[in-house]
Homo-oligomer: A and B are copies of this chain.
């Protein structure tokens, strides 16, 4: 089975590493001119002249990146099976459509308004009560294209800084923590759920994910399972889907956004779960039985960003698992991650502190349950 992957970054790389043991081969289609997968066959296609060659090589297509032209993915679907479908991409590319889907499926979200001018933005800020977050409805990756309004009078400036004709404005949630739920749906409709992770972002970039959480009520996991199952079934989805949520003081969950792919907040599963999100995505899209999603042990994923630190010192930590992406160092660039496992959360936090001290510029982690 030759699997075609749209995109050729670290997610594709890790998909391939999970897929070789299933006897899969990989062909990547890179449209950026800067592939970093470093594995399999990479076709660089900045002018769309290699698409036919790519399609001729592969048995089915998946993607590591949802900011793809929907019409491109639809066109590919005419030729080869694509999992997840172009419909998942279409929904996830537009925050307005995504929110409408959440509303339709009864998945609670922060209160929001759609605005198309600075005046409408100011009115929405009044109505929702500041602070509010304004985001362009399209694109948006790692905190880009966003602004926080502390007062409605900042609407003009925010409108200009984002520079997009349609924005979504959301109540600023007084959340206890950011969490995510990752689930996998097979071709036959079977669904499995990973334990939820607590995610720590700094400046809009994920830094830490910890799973399972020591203080998560089973009912909250079941609620999240229900939300993501509704999305999976509604979209007749095949593969891994990620839903990011806020958990409020009363324990309730509000959906933030979803990603139709393997996700950074699921990298802990590579060492911490019986079956990784990457293997389960590949099992799903090939129609194979899904693997056990249980955690073997409390696990913390630490992103390595900007600078590598000292890999030897990281590897000296017991039950530390280093995953380097073989990229050159650059400010703000995700270069790899470390998975730390420990029998208890207390021991895990000790290891996290040890590891963070080895990563230049890594902010001190602060988890909600500490």
Give A residues with C-beta under 8 Å from B. Answer: 13, 17, 20-23, 25, 38-39, 274, 283, 287-289, 291-292, 296, 311-312, 315-316, 318-319, 321-326, 336, 341
Contacts and interface: CB of A to CB of B under 8 A. Distances in A.
B13 A20 contact: yes
A336 B21 CA distance: 8
Nearest to A314: B289
B39 A319 contact: no
Contacts of A20: 13, 17, 38-39, 326
Contact of A319 (B25, B292, B321, B323): B292
Contacts of A292: 318-319
Task: State how many copies of this chain the complex holds.
Answer: 2
A274 B319 contact: yes
Nearest to A21: B323
A39 B289 CA distance: 26
A260 to B, nearest CB: 23
A287 B311 CA distance: 11
Contacts of A316: 289
A25 to B, nearest CB: 7
A238 to B, nearest CB: 16
A25 B326 contact: yes
A324 B38 contact: no
Nearest to A325: B23
A315 B291 CA distance: 7
A13 B291 CA distance: 23
A25 B316 CA distance: 22
Nearest to A291: B315
Contacts of A274: 318-319, 341
Contact of A288 (B13, B312, B326, B341): B312
A71 to B, nearest CB: 34
A341 B275 CA distance: 12
Contacts of A13: 20
A312 B186 CA distance: 13
A359 to B, nearest CB: 15
Contacts of A325: 23
A226 to B, nearest CB: 24
Contacts of A322: 21-22
Query: Which of A21, A289, A326 has its CB near the most chain B CB atoms (within 10 A)?
Result: A21
10 contacts: A20-B38, A20-B39, A21-B322, A25-B38, A39-B39, A274-B319, A287-B312, A288-B311, A292-B318, A292-B319
A268 to B, nearest CB: 14
A169 B175 CA distance: 75
A287 B39 CA distance: 24
Nearest to A296: B296
A81 to B, nearest CB: 17
B22 A324 contact: yes
Contacts of A311: 22-23, 288
A346 to B, nearest CB: 19
Pick the 9 closest A-B CB pairs, nearest first: A23-B324, A289-B316, A21-B323, A23-B326, A289-B315, A288-B312, A288-B315, A274-B319, A292-B318
Contacts of A25: 38, 326
B318 A289 contact: no
A324 B1 CA distance: 12
Contacts of A289: 312, 315-316
Contacts of A321: 21
